[in-house]
Amino acid sequence: MSTTSKDVTVDARPKRQQTAKNIAARKGDTPIVCLTAYITPMAARLDQHCDLLLVGDSVGMVLYGLDSTLGVDLEMMIRHGRAVCRGAKQALVVIDMPFGSYEESKEQAFRNAARVLSETGAGAVKLEGGVEMAETVRFLSRRGIPVLGHVGLMPQSVHAHGGYGARGRTVDEWQPIIDDAIAIAEAGAFAVVLEGVAEPLARKVTEVLSVPVIGIGASNACDGQILVTEDMLGLFAINPKFVKRFAEIGRDIEGAIAEYADEVRSRSFPAEEHTYKMRGANS
């Protein structure tokens, strides 16, 4: 699609400067900046500062009040993926494959991943799992679907692993996580998210993988970092150990709402400057 003004033709389609291939080439380079996004206005604000925007299944907890990510479905991810792609012009948009949309078979994973990319305009999908998902990652990658892996603490598997506690805090827990990361990278993932692991293990995984490792709760030893945007902006009272709050938006919102309520009740809002006048000689 293009728009023409006199002799100038302007391509109105979004320009995606970052691709999965670009991100893969960033191994050991300047750290990769990643945040989550679920809506168009936030995506537009994040876009100029981020290399990668993840439409995470955390949307279920952040926007819908779910207790976990397990209640998120494919329709929800596609809906929010479209919204984020409308706001992002340069960052690579990656969309989480929700629980139950890819585990059954590699063919199921391909059908659903292809639908996600074709219906949203995103550049890649993310799925959780290690050795057991390597065949699926390879199947998708060989068919033109870029995959961001996710190992370590995997929120979609919290029931199987006994909760959200950090992984790899004893040496005997290391090898399965290392094996998972290697398997996914060798299967063709362009990068791997490593969540909730002890710093020495994060350093080891980052050293052994040839693709970038993007950490969340995995120390600054990784090739990049990702956080849930609403966490780092201080929108919620609960603050995970690995999150630094760069703002206190939640507190500011509460203050603004309280001020609004006071002014409505005292009739000081809307004031004269917020009120329409009649037009004409008698106004």
* Binding-site annotation: residue ranges for 3-methyl-2-oxobutanoate: 57-58, 96, 126
Residue 92 makes CB contacts below 8 A (sequence gap 6+) with 16, 18, 19, 20, 22, 23, 51, 52, 53, 123, 124
Please pick, among 103, 195, 259, 273, the residue that the annotation labels catalytic: 195
Can you give the three-state secondary structure of 123-168, one letter per residue? CEEECCECHHHHHHHHHHHCCCCCEEEEEECCHHHHHHHCCCCCEC
Active site annotation includes 103: no
Residue 245 burial (C-beta neighbours within 10 Å; 0-12, 13-18, 19+)? middle
| Binding site members for Mg(2+) | 57, 96, 128
Cα torsion 137, 141, 143, 145: sign = positive
Helix (H, G, I), strand (E, B) or coil at 255: helix
Q: Which residues are annotated as a binding site?
A: 57-58, 96, 126, 128
Catalytic residues, by residue number, are: 195
